Amino acid sequence: MKCIYCDFAESKVVDSRPVDDGTSIRRRRECLSCGKRFTTYEKVESLPVFVVKKDGKREAFDIEKIKKGVVKACEKREVSYDEIETLINEIERTVYNSPKQEITSHEVGEIVMEGLRKLDEVAYVRFASVYRQFKDINTFKEELNKLLTEE
């Protein structure tokens, strides 16, 4: 691994530990030339999963898009960043563990909504209102009624 300080091409690993529920490894390295330490992360590279949009277009699954939507839905709620990170990791794991290389945007939305429903009902309704594009108060009311009858 190339040193970020002096560009020397060799370093030694002084500490390794799993992160992100064991899906990544954090490594502390020490440059063999200048002696400075730096951190690297190692993650398994997986085959891309493509999301099929409503219009039929395909794009690579991007967990950052999901994360933005979940963070927005949880804004001003008593949901910790760790809970959001855990949900994002669960969603990512669910998508990548699917045997399919393509998943519809509808399926992704349902996975996110299911996770939000368990995490925070208000965040769930916020996300659902944007995702399902509620056209009026009646569709909003129907979704709330579904939520109430499931409890």
Q: Convert 44-53 to b/e letters by CB count within 10 Å (16 or more is b).
A: eeeeebebbe
Q: What is the pTM of this model?
A: 0.62
pLDDT digits (tens, 9 = 90+) for 68-87: 999 999 999 999 999 999 99
- Is it the case that residue 151 has pLDDT exceeding 70? no
Cβ(36)–Cβ(10) below 8 Å: no
pLDDT digits (tens, 9 = 90+) for 4-56: 999 999 999 999 999 877 778 999 999 999 999 999 999 877 678 999 998 99
